[in-house]
């Protein structure tokens, strides 16, 4: 055991476990950081391999030996109401930021699950509940404090180092260890949001697709499709059914929002309707995702359009006859996401109109191969309109070639140059094999 770290044997087991349970780091020691200085000294102490864990939602590759830096105690958030900004520490989840902003009538560009770490989400771009109105989370970063692999701290802004700032905003989590970040907040206390559950069918998916072509930017929506278990914890109307859950977040006038979403109620039988005005502090209700740690794998495509025939086939191959449980998640993009940000960054494939993700829980040891086969078949349906991949929506390690597909080739080269400059020996094991 080192003087600064803790032997893994003396740590509570859950210090090594993230939300993602498919993988587990096996470090020699764990540094549970209680300050940015702890992160600096952990990196300066030696040149052992190192990995960072916040909530563990995005864990991919695992560390074997070396030092794991856990940021889970660094959850501080300081709001500056006059500037409408928040300073967010390395381990803060979106719920920490949402709760800190709410008393000031301010909200962050957080995503579907408020337990996700705000820093890594933003480094990967960040497609949130207000995305079509305000753009990517990475488009609203003002300052990043990071530590390089020698333990040297750097404060990076668009003025101090425009190239490194551009690459950090959207270039993923391979560029040193971020100790804190200043981000913009937007004026917002409530949204009209929730889910409309209908029986899954090609007609429902295509109806949602057509409807997305008509909605203003205040509407950010997605559709999830899954076969729900026939269990008491599932609402009775949905038990054992193949369901399409249209997930809606409207940030304009609520009465107008109700009119905008009205055509969706004509798409089929509404099995369950949870749409209501909700405080943003309860924004988890929109996607209503599982908040219990588990093992999962996903892959995705960013596409320029959705082919109705492909949607129809997708319903069939991921439904009750699928060899493994598969959740389909399609998000409507465009709007502010498609516009260049005020300060340039490397967020990839802004022109994408939708993201298509397939996700499966890994319940049995042999599941991974079957899951990968099914996911490949499902996403091949969208090859004709494929633009690339989303880094954030890839759960489970990708190949280096797949990771590069998250950006335009020239931007992947810029990320590689910055990564090599900050971490010449490849000491930092990020969740994905980043360009270098
Ligand atoms: C249920 C669920 C919902 C999601 N919803 C959305 C969504 O709506 N929109 C969206 O864009 N994404 C979403 N994501 C994806 C999520 O943004 C990424 O998986 C993100 O990487 C998770 O970060 P984390 O800190 O929570 O996880 P962690 O696994 O702790 O971190 C992910 C990786 O980031 C690196 N890292 C973490 N902290 C730091 C740091 N301080 N400095 C440097 N590197 C660091 C580490 O390499 C780590 O492997 C979702 C993921 C899940 C599982």
Digit-coded pLDDT (tens) for 126-135: 999 999 999 9
Three-state SS annotation for 98-138: HHHHHHHCEECCCCCCCCCEHHHHHHCCCCCCCHHHHCCHH
191, two tokens: 């949204």
Atom number in ligand 1 closest to CA 429: 47
Cβ(296) – ligand 1 distance below 6 Å: no
- Mean pLDDT, the chain, rounded, equals 95
Q: Residue 397's pLDDT is what?
A: 83
CATH of domain 190-401: 3.40.462.20
> Residue with the nearest Cα to atom 49 of ligand 1?
431
CA of 392 to the centre of ligand 1 (A): 7
CA–CA separation, 389 vs 127, rounded Å?
13
Provide, rounded to the nearest whole percent, the portion of the chain with pLDDT above 90.
94
Q: CA-CA distance, 19 to 257, in Å (whole number)?
A: 34
Express the helix, strand and coil content of the chain in percent, nearest 5 each. 30, 25, 45
57 CA to middle of ligand 1, Å? 5
Nearest alpha-carbon partner for 110 in 228, 327, 281: 281
Residue 106: both structure tokens together:
């301010």
Residue 97 CA to ligand 1 center (angstroms) comes to 15
* Contact 173 CB / ligand 1 (< 6 Å): yes
Position 367 scores a pLDDT of: 86
- Whether 213 shows a pLDDT value over 60: the answer reads yes
Assess whether pLDDT exceeds 60 at residue 1: no
Q: What's the 117 CA to ligand 1 centre distance in angstroms?
A: 6
Ligand 1 near 245 CB (within 6 A): no
Asked whether residue 78 carries a pLDDT value surpassing 90, the answer given is yes
Instruction: Name 304's Cβ contacts closer than 8 Å, sequence gap at least 6.
Output: 351, 352, 353, 385, 387
Query: How far apart (Å, rounded) are the C-alpha atoms in residues 285 and 278?
Result: 8
Closest CA relative to residue 116, chosen from 257, 333, 248, 283: 283
Q: Which atom of ligand 1 is nearest to the CA of 112?
A: 8
**In whole angstroms, how far apart are CA 343 and each of 79, 88, 140, 153, 165?**
22, 20, 9, 23, 9
Contacts of 286 by beta carbon, 8 Å cutoff, 6+ apart:
112, 129, 191, 193, 194, 195, 247, 248, 249, 278
Instruction: Name the nearest CA neighbour of 80 among 97, 66, 92.
Output: 97
Common-topology check for domains 77-187+409-422 and 190-401: no
Q: Please, how many CA atoms are within 13 Å of residue 69, restricted to the half-sphere of its CB?
A: 32
Give the pLDDT of residue 2: 43
Beta 186-187 vs 177-184: how paired, if at all? unpaired
Q: What is the pLDDT of residues 256-268, one digit of tens each?
A: 999 999 999 999 9
Ligand 1 centre to CA of 116 (Å) is 6
Give the pLDDT of residue 5: 67
Our answer on whether the CB atom of 71 is closer than 6 Å to any ligand 1 atom is yes
Is the CB of residue 98 less than 8 Å from the CB of residue 112?
A: no
Q: How do residues 285-330 score in pLDDT, each as one tens digit? A: 999 999 999 999 999 999 999 999 999 999 999 999 999 999 999 9
CATH class in words for 77-187+409-422: alpha beta
329 lines ligand 1 (CB under 6 A): no
For ligand 1, atom 12, which residue shows the shortest CA distance? 392
Query: Would you call 34 exposed, middle or buried from its count of C-beta atoms within 10 A (0-12, 13-18, 19+)?
Result: exposed
89 CA to middle of ligand 1, Å?
A: 14
Contacts with 123 (C-beta within 8 Å, 6 or more apart), sequence order: 138, 168, 169, 170, 171, 172, 173, 175, 178
Residues paired with 294 in a beta bridge: 20
CA of residue 310 to ligand 1 center, whole Å: 29
Atom of ligand 1 nearest to the CA of 113: 3
Taking the centre of ligand 1 as the mean of its atom positions, its distance from the CA of residue 173, in whole angstroms, is 9
Helix, strand, or coil (residue 162): helix
Task: Assess whether pLDDT exceeds 90 at residue 210.
Answer: yes
Question: What per-residue confidence (pLDDT) applies to 15?
Answer: 76
Instruction: Say yes or no: CB of residue 56 within 6 Å of ligand 1.
Output: yes
Q: Which of 25, 13, 58 is nearest to 174 (CA)?
A: 58
The Å distance, Cα 59 to ligand 1 centre, comes to: 8
For residue 288 and ligand 1, the question of a CB distance below 6 A is answered with no
Query: Residue ranges per domain, the chain?
Result: 6-70, 77-187+409-422, 190-401
CA 121 / ligand 1 centre spacing (Å): 5
**How many Cα neighbours within 13 Å face the side chain of 142?**
11
Using the mean position of ligand 1's atoms as its centre, give its distance from the Cα of residue 232 in Å: 31
* Ligand 1 atom closest to 395 (CA): 19
Other Cβ atoms less than 10 A from the Cβ of 363: the count is 13
**How far from 2 is each of 29, 45, 150, CA to CA, in Å?**
7, 10, 18
From 15, 39, 52, 292, the mutation candidate for ligand 1 (largest count of ligand atoms within 8 A of CB) is 52
Rounded Cα–Cα distance for residues 340 and 122 (Å): 16
How close is the Cα of 125 to the center of ligand 1, in Å? 10
- Nearest residue to 148 via CA among 181, 120, 176, 180: 176
Q: List alpha helices for 194-329, DSSP H.
A: 202-212, 254-261, 284-287, 308-317
| Res 3 pLDDT > 70 | no
The pLDDT assigned to 363 comes to 83
The two tokens of residue 417 are 């140059």
DSSP category for residue 93: B
In this prediction, residues 53-71 reach a mean pLDDT of 95
> Closest Cα to atom 24, ligand 1: which residue?
117
Residue 145 · residue 164 · CB < 8 Å = no
d(CA 338, CA 19): 31
CB 284 within 8 A of CB 94: no
Residue 11 has pLDDT above 70, yes or no: no
Architecture of domain 6-70: 2-Layer Sandwich (3.30)
Closest CA to 13 of 1, 24, 2: 24
Q: For atom 1 of ligand 1, which residue has the closest CA?
A: 113
pLDDT of residue 366 exceeding 90, the answer is: no
């Amino acid at each position: 055991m080192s003087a600064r770290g803790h032997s893994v044997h003396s740590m509570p087991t859950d210090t090594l476990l993230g939300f993602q349970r498919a993988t587990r780091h096996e470090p020699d020691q764990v540094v549970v950081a209680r300050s940015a200085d702890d992160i600096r000294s952990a990196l300066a102490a030696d040149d052992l391999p190192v990995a960072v864990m916040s909530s563990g939602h995005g864990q991919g590759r695992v560390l074997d030996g070396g030092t794991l830096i856990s940021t889970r105690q660094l959850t501080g958030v300081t709001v500056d109401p006059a500037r409408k900004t928040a300073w967010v520490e390395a381990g803060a989840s979106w719920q920490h930021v949402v709760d800190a902003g709410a008393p000031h009538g301010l909200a962050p560009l957080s995503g579907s699950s408020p337990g996700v770490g705000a820093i890594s989400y933003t480094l990967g771009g960040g497609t949130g509940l207000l995305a079509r109105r305000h753009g990517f989370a990475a488009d609203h970063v003002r300052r990043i404090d990071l530590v390089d692999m020698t333990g040297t701290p750097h404060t990076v802004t668009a003025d101090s180092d425009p190239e490194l700032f551009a690459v950090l905003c959207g270039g993923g989590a391979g560029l040193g260890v971020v100790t804190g970040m200043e981000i913009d907040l937007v004026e917002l206390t409530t949204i009209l949001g929730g889910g409309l559950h209908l029986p899954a069918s090609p007609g429902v998916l295509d109806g949602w697709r057509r409807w997305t072509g008509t909605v203003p930017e205040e509407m950010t929506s997605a559709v999830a499709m899954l076969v729900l278990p026939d269990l008491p914890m599932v609402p009775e109307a949905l038990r054992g059914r193949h369901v399409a859950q249209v997930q809606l977040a409207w940030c304009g006038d609520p009465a107008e929002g109700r009119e905008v979403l009205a055509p969706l109620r004509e798409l089929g039988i509404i099995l369950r309707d949870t749409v209501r005005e909700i405080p943003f502090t309860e924004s988890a209700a929109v996607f209503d995702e599982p908040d219990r740690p588990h093992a999962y794998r996903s892959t995705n495509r960013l596409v320029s359009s959705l082919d109705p025939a492909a949607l129809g086939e997708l319903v069939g191959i991921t439904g009750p006859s699928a060899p493994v449980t598969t959740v389909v998640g399609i998000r409507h993009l465009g709007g502010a996401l498609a516009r260049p940000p005020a300060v340039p960054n490397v967020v990839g494939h802004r022109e994408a109109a939708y993201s298509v993700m397939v996700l499966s829980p890994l319940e049995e040891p042999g599941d991974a191969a079957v899951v990968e086969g099914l996911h490949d078949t499902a996403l091949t349906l969208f090859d004709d309109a494929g633009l690339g991949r989303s880094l954030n929506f890839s759960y489970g390690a990708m190949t280096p070639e797949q990771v590069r597909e998250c950006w335009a080739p020239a931007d992947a080269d810029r990320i590689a140059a910055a990564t090599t400059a900050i971490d010449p020996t490849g000491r930092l094991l990020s969740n994905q094999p980043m360009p270098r």
